[in-house]
A and B are shown apart, each in its own frame.
Chain A
């Protein structure tokens, strides 16, 4: 079992008007106060250092663009810092948005350097990104998937083939590929891929045997997507297992249930991610510009986010805090209660990777530190026992690329 820590790292301010919502492509960066930002960035880094100390296996970092709900515009900056200020934890990027890079050679070298400085602790996950990222960086949304696949193939070749070589594909051309830095890990750092509901991405991921991490999705839907992974793996001639399956969900732990509910609620307040339950999706034609996703995928997403007769949605887009707690979309309670709920998730989904999303929304630093402490003392050790009992190996126990046992992750 691999247990990771994640915070979206939202902008936090007391007077964020409701109508600004997630702020994506809506709010001017005139609102960005560098002094406040300095405090927030350093706070989030302090929390990550502490998460390593209490026993998390990985620190997940992501990025979004023109997006106040995620202060990380450049995940590799934070990954670079973590490479130096942490010592044993994995640095999990979920991930670099490959299609928005016009120069993936630069990306290949950045990631190689982070892997080297961290002495082989980088997991350089990759994503396609939503429309907002394409708009901010003026990258053609209609070539998103082609660029994703080409940039992926280019990264792998650059990391595994001695240079110099020439690269000429539809979207990327280089006459001299020979970055001085190459990765620490061989044959190359492990690639993981996050997802929400794209069947095409799950299938692609399964064909590459990359661990697939579902992000804050509803349980039943998550299991359906895992099933697609298992089926695709079977078609590819290998057996997928827990080492290929990851799931991220909100967790907040306190000494009492009442306190947990009171403070946990702040996870659903403040500047929120547009991908989260309870948050109205921002401008649809920006999130999904023409050609970014297949019509089939757009129709599926529409179906999942459309409320049924009771006002509920499959993707949980209109769920309240109470709903999310009741349906285990958010795990909130005492350590014992949280472990019980997490056991249910582990039995239901059989993931080898679990990522706690914590300290998010409007939650303050003290509350995050308090919950991290309880997680480390009580929740993580209990989960590791359950994982043994249920036989849920993570990707550092069973290699997803080969299904062979690897040295257990020191924790």
Chain B
């Protein structure tokens, strides 16, 4: 299947930042919160979702070409920033959100504090909870290349090869480093989890779908179970033969799963 990407990319002065925003599609807004490795492009999954929604993919502060104000020191700060962005950009609420890894953690934090902002929430390989079994893979004891290898189960999948399984240009390598510099500030300690979030999950009133790759090599699947136990009514969908980035590794299966939940 081929699609012709139709999206715009702009830089907005908004919510205290100079923000890189990719947007495509039409209809109700769908907010995408990317993971700790950033988002390299308008992805196939974005394009598939944009057939049904007006899809917003901001590069979170510090990532991509977005600026990185000093005051952003934690994931909770970041969740406050997301709330600011949604209001400042005039997105109608409640709106649907998909959060990937770090982005899932941000969405969960926000949903604990504000039950009116999201209509439905999809958390994909979400960080934020210390797994019951295993450990969250340490990005900072490994190289950037290794991080992408670890994030994918299938190293022949199209978007892995397109963005990561190749030699980077100096600009691409520079962007990867920029994203690592942002990630380290948000995630350093406690490493990629919150001490208090588990106790706050029962405060979430937003219908929630958890999506995990069975072979997630970054956030162990036992974190999915903890999210499911914590968030009232949460459902889980586990994708087989899939790693930490289902949206890039299995875009069609991932999108189908998500659309069923959002549209149902």
> A residues within 8 Å of B by Cβ?
25, 135, 138, 140-142, 284-286, 289-291, 295
Restricting to B138-180, which residues have a CB under 8 Å from any CB of A?
A: 140-144, 174, 177, 180
- Whether A289 lies near B140 (C-beta < 8 A) is yes
Query: In the complex where A135-B141, A295-B177 touch, is A290 in contact with B189 (Cβ < 8 A)?
Result: no
User: Can you report 11 A-B residue pairs in the complex whose CB atoms are below 8 A from each other?
Assistant: A25-B141, A135-B140, A138-B188, A140-B184, A140-B185, A140-B188, A141-B188, A142-B184, A142-B185, A285-B143, A286-B141
Q: List B contacts of A25 (CB < 8 A).
A: 141
Tell me which residues across on chain A come within 8 A of B184, comparing CB atoms: 140-142, 289-291
Q: Is B9 an interface residue when CB atoms closer than 8 A count as contact?
A: no
Task: Enumerate chain A residues within 8 angstroms of B185, measured Cβ to Cβ.
Answer: 140, 142, 291
- Bound-state Cα–Cα, A286 to B143, Å: 9
Q: Does B41 contact A (CB under 8 A)?
A: no
The 8 closest A-B pairs by CB, nearest first: A290-B180, A290-B181, A290-B184, A291-B181, A140-B188, A285-B143, A142-B185, A142-B184
Closest to A298 in B: B177
CA A290 to CA B189, docked complex, whole Å: 14
B183 interface contact, C-beta 8 A: yes
Residues of chain B within 8 A of A138, CB atoms compared:
188-189
1/0 per residue, CB under 8 A from A, across B184-197: the answer is 11001100000000
Which interface residue of A135, A138, A291 has the most chain B CB atoms within 10 A? A291
A142, B141: Cβ atoms closer than 8 Å: no
CB-CB under 8 A from A140, the residues of chain B are: 184-185, 188-189
Question: How many whole Å from A74's CB to the nearest CB in chain B?
Answer: 22
B141 near A290 with CB under 8 A, answer: no
Instruction: List 10 additional A-B contacts (Cβ < 8 Å) besides A135-B140, A138-B189, A142-B184.
Output: A138-B188, A140-B184, A142-B188, A285-B141, A285-B142, A286-B141, A289-B140, A290-B140, A290-B181, A291-B184
Distance between Cα atoms of A285 and B183 in the complex (Å): 14
Q: For the complex, what is the distance from the CA of A6 to the CA of B45, rounded to whole Å?
A: 59
Q: Which residue of A lies closest to B185 (CB)?
A: A142
Query: Chain B's nearest CB lies how many Å from the CB of A299?
Result: 10
Q: Find chain A residues with CB under 8 A from B143 CB.
A: 284-285
Chain B interface size range: 10 to 19
Chain A nearest CB: distance from B2 CB in Å? 36
Q: Nearest A residue to B190 by beta-carbon distance?
A: A138
B216 to chain A, nearest CB (A): 22
Q: Are A285 and B188 in contact (CB under 8 A)?
A: no
Shortest A237–chain B CB gap in Å is 30
Nearest-neighbour CB distance to chain B for A168, whole angstroms, equals 16
Contact of B142 with A290 in the complex, beta carbons under 8 Å: no
Q: Closest chain A residue to B145 by CB distance?
A: A285
Q: Tell me the smallest distance from the CB of B48 to a CB of chain A, in Å.
A: 32
Closest to B138 in A: A135
* In the complex with contacts A140-B188, A140-B189, A142-B188, A285-B140 CB distance below 8 A: yes
Nearest Cβ in chain A — how far from B201, in angstroms? 26
Give the CA-CA distance A328 to B185 in the complex, in Å.
42
In the complex, chain B residues whose CB is within 8 Å of the CB of A142: 181, 184-185, 188
Q: Which of B43-97 contact A (CB under 8 A)?
A: none
Alpha-carbon separation in the docked complex, A284 to B180 (Å): 14
Residues of chain B within 8 A (CB-CB) of A290 are: 140, 177, 180-181, 183-184
Interface string of B226-261 (1 = CB under 8 A from A): 000000000000000000000000000000000000
Report B-chain residues with C-beta under 8 Å of the C-beta of A289: 140, 184
- Which residues of the partner chain A approach B183 to less than 8 Å between Cβ atoms? 290
Report the minimum CB–CB distance from B237 to chain A (whole Å): 33
Among A135, A140, A285, A291, chain B packs the most CB atoms within 10 A around the CB of A285
- Provide the bound-state CA to CA distance between A246 and B180, in Å: 36
- Residues of B contacting A285 with CB < 8 Å? 140-144
Q: Which residues of B contact A291 (CB under 8 A)?
A: 181, 184-185
* Residues of A contacting B140 in the complex (Cβ-Cβ under 8 angstroms): 135, 285, 289-290
Q: With a CB–CB cut-off of 8 A, which chain B residues contact A286?
A: 141
Closest to A286 in B: B141
CA distance A138 to B143 in the complex (A): 18
Closest CB of chain B to A98's CB: distance in Å?
18
| Most chain A C-beta atoms within 10 Å of own C-beta, residue among B140, B143, B177, B189 | B140
- With a CB–CB cut-off of 8 A, which chain A residues contact B188? 138, 140-142
**Residue of A135, A284, A289, A290 ringed by the most chain B CB atoms within 10 A:** A290
Report Cα–Cα, A109/B82, bound state, in Å: 44
A295, B144: Cα distance in complex, Å: 16
Which residue on B lies nearest to A291, using beta carbons?
B181
In Å, the complex CA distance between A106 and B180 comes to 32
Q: In the complex, how many angstroms separate the beta carbon of B85 from the nearest chain A beta carbon?
A: 23
Q: How far is the CA of A285 from the CA of B141 in the complex (A)?
A: 7
The CA-CA distance from A232 to B183 in the complex, in Å, is 34
Q: Name which residue of chain A comes closest to B143, CB basis.
A: A285
Within 8 Å CB of A284, what residues of B? 143
- Inter-chain CA distance A135–B138, complex, in Å, is 11
